[in-house]
C-alpha cells in the first residue's frame, strides 16, 4: 500500500537546494533532472555530491516535478529520505501485526485532531484502550550503528511531545514511535547536541508515561518496510 508501482530509478546526487529540490544525474541516460525532496530536515550527513540515489516517478503527467527523491546511499547504508512514506510504512506494519506491543487492533484512524491545534498520526483502538501514536522519521547517524533524532532544531517535535504527555491516562496509551529509515543501525538516541530542548521534553514525556518505540527498516527491491525493534539509548 505504501510502495510505488514503478521501479525506482537510479542516479547520482548533484545537490539539494531550497530545501525541497534536488538535482540528480540519472544513471541510464546521464540526463540531469530536478526531483522533489520531501524532507524538511537538514539531512545531515547524507548530501555528499555523487552519492547514489533512488527516485520514484510520478504517475500524474501534470505534476510539476516528475521525480521524487526516495533513497540515498551514504557510507554503504540505504537511507529513506521521503518523510511522507514514514506513516504508510508504520500503518502497513500495524495492519500486519509487526509491532508486537500494539495488539488486537480493531480500528485505526489517521490524522486525528487532539490537544491544542494538533493532529496525531494514528489513533488506534482495541478492546481495552485507545493508543495515540506519533511517528517521527529518522535519517541521521553520526556514530556507527546509532540512529539519532532530530537532525535540526524542531519546535514542532517538542510541541508533539507535550501534547502526548497531556493525553496519557489509565485507559489511554501515548507512543512516540521513531521510524529509522536506515538499514545500518541497531540503536537509537536523541541528538541532544543538536536540540537539547527536544531531549529534555522527551525525558519529561517519558516520566509522564509516554512510551518510546524505535524500529529500523529493510530495503528490498522497490519496497521499504518496517523491520526490527531496536534499543533506545536514553541520554543521562
46 and 53 Cβ atoms separated by less than 8 Å? no
Per residue in 49-87, pLDDT (tens digit) is: 999 999 999 887 778 999 999 999 999 999 999 999 999
- The whole-number pLDDT of residue 104 equals 87
Do 55 and 127 lie in one domain? The reply is no
Strand-pair partners of 69: 55
Looking at the structure, do residues 201 and 122 belong to the same domain, yes or no?
Answer: yes
Q: Is residue 16 included in any domain, yes or no?
A: yes
Q: Identify the sign of the CA torsion 162, 168, 172, 176.
A: positive
Adjacent-strand bridge partners of 213: 177
Q: Which domain holds residue 18?
A: 9-80
What confidence score (pLDDT) does residue 127 get?
Answer: 85
Number of domains in the chain: 2
**Angle CA(190)–CA(200)–CA(216) in degrees, nearest 5?**
25
The pLDDT value recorded for residue 2 is 42
The C-alpha R_g of the chain, in whole angstroms, comes to: 18
pLDDT of residue 1: 39
pLDDT at 235: 54
Last residue of a domain, one of 80, 103, 121: 80
| 4 domain-assigned | no
- pLDDT beneath 70, residues of the chain: 1-5, 235-236
What per-residue string of b and e applies to 69-102 under the rule 16 or more CB within 10 Å gives b? bbbbbbeebbbbbbbebbbbbbbbbbeeebbeeb
Q: CATH no. for residue 47?
A: 2.40.50.580
How much is the pLDDT for 116? Answer: 84
Amino acid at each position: 500500500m505504501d510502495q510505488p508501482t514503478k521501479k525506482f530509478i537510479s542516479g547520482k546526487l548533484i545537490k539539494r537546494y531550497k530545501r525541497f529540490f534536488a538535482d540528480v544525474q540519472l544513471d541510464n541516460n546521464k540526463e540531469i533532472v530536478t526531483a522533489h525532496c520531501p524532507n524538511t530536515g537538514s539531512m545531515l550527513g547524507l548530501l555528499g555530491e555523487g552519492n547514489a540515489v533512488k527516485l520514484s516517478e510520478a504517475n500524474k503527467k501534470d505534476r510539476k516535478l516528475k521525480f521524487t527523491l526516495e533513497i540515498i546511499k551514504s557510507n554503504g547504508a540505504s537511507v529513506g529520505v521521503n518523510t511522507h512514506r514514514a506513516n504508510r510504512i508504520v500503518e502497513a506494519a500495524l495492519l500486519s501485526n509487526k509491532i508486537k506491543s500494539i495488539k488486537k487492533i480493531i480500528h485505526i484512524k489517521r490524522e486525528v485532531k487532539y490537544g491544542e491545534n494538533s493532529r496525531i498520526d494514528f489513533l488506534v483502538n482495541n478492546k481495552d484502550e485507545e493508543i495515540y501514536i506519533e511517528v517521527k522519521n529518522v535519517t541521521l547517524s553520526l556514530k556507527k550503528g546509532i540512529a539519532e533524532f532530530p537532525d535540526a532544531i524542531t519546535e514542532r517535535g517538542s510541541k508533539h511531545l507535550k501534547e502526548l504527555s497531556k493525553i496519557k491516562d489509565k485507559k489511554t496509551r501515548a507512543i512516540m514511535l521513531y521510524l529509522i529509515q536506515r538499514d545500518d543501525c541497531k540503536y537509537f538516541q536523541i541528538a541532544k547536541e543538536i536540540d537539547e530542548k527536544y531531549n529534555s521534553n522527551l525525558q519529561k514525556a517519558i516520566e509522564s508515561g509516554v512510551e518510546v518505540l524505535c524500529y529500523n527498516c529493510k530495503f528490498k527491491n522497490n519496497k521499504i518496510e518496517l523491520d526490527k525493534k531496536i534499543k533506545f539509548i536514553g541520554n543521562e
